[in-house]
């Protein structure tokens, strides 16, 4: 019996991934406005009712697509932090640079960002106005990693949490509205990190 449940769980997971793949492809090719539950269902070869059952309405479908992409990017962000050991002045800017350069090249992120210029901004609020699925998970994942990565610095946890949120928000701001080269964004990030560490040093 358990084997049967396991099989159906695996099948649901496969179908869900395929639904997200097709949705992402449509967004990249034609924009969010072109995505309909019926169209996604037809391309996957399932019923529209199954799409609703798996993912809910169109808004939930879009959020799932963005969340999956964010999860993938955050996995690489953690790797960038780990590459630089316990040096926050090297690791954090490296992670930020990865996000900014990846965002500029990632077809899905570009489609979401560019959609705002054509009146097709249905997915943009997921990146800008809500803590989920971007700001909240990004802050949580990065904070968990830097707590371990920079434990030897003994930085106050409240300070560390504030710095991480500032860096994440600043990174998203540069991603959404770049006002100069990536190097300028990285310079700002370093100022934030250095200022936080200096504050901790003076307090102790």
What's the rounded mean pLDDT across residues 138-167? 90
Q: Any residues with CB less than 8 A from the CB of 96 and at least 6 apart, and which?
A: 167, 171, 185, 186, 189
Q: Give me the helix-helix angle, 48-55 and 58-83, nearest 10°.
A: 50
pTM: 0.82
Token couple for 97: 């640079």
pLDDT at 117 over 50: no
Domain boundaries, the chain: 2-203
pLDDT band with cut points at 50, 70 and 90 for residue 103: confident
pLDDT band with cut points at 50, 70 and 90 for residue 26: very high
Q: Any residues with CB less than 8 A from the CB of 9 and at least 6 apart, and which?
A: none
For residues 81 and 148, the answer to whether their CB atoms sit within 8 Å is: no
pLDDT band with cut points at 50, 70 and 90 for residue 24: very high
Residue 202: the pLDDT is 45
Pairwise CA distance, residues 150 & 197, whole Å: 11
For residues 156 and 200, the answer to whether their CB atoms sit within 8 Å is: yes
What's the rounded mean pLDDT across residues 79-85? 95
Pairwise CA distance, residues 193 & 197, whole Å: 6
Average pLDDT of the chain, as a whole number: 86
CATH number for 2-203 (one of 3.30.70.380, 1.10.357.10, 1.10.10.10, 1.20.140.10): it is 1.10.357.10
What's the rounded mean pLDDT across residues 43-63? 92
Structure confidence by residue, pLDDT tens digits, 5-18: 677 788 889 999 99
């Amino acid at each position: 019996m358990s084997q049967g449940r396991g099989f159906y769980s695996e099948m649901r997971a496969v179908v869900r991934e395929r639904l997200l793949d097709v949705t992402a492809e449509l967004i990249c090719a034609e924009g969010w406005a072109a995505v309909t539950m019926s169209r996604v269902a037809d391309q996957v070869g399932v019923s529209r009712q199954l799409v609703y059952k798996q993912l809910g309405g169109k808004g939930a479908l879009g959020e799932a697509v963005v969340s999956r992409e964010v999860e993938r990017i955050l996995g690489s962000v953690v790797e960038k932090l780990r590459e630089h050991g316990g040096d926050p002045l090297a690791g954090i800017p490296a992670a930020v640079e990865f996000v900014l350069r990846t965002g500029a090249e990632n077809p899905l992120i570009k489609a979401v960002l560019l959609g705002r210029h054509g009146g097709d901004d249905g997915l943009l609020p997921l990146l800008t106005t809500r803590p989920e699925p971007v700001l909240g998970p990004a802050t949580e994942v990065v904070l968990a990693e830097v707590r371990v990565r920079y434990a030897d610095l003994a930085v106050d946890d409240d300070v560390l949490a504030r710095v991480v949120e500032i860096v994440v928000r600043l990174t998203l701001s540069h991603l959404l509205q770049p006002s100069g080269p990536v190097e300028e964004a990285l310079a700002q990030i370093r100022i934030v990190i250095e200022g936080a560490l200096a504050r901790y040093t003076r307090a102790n």
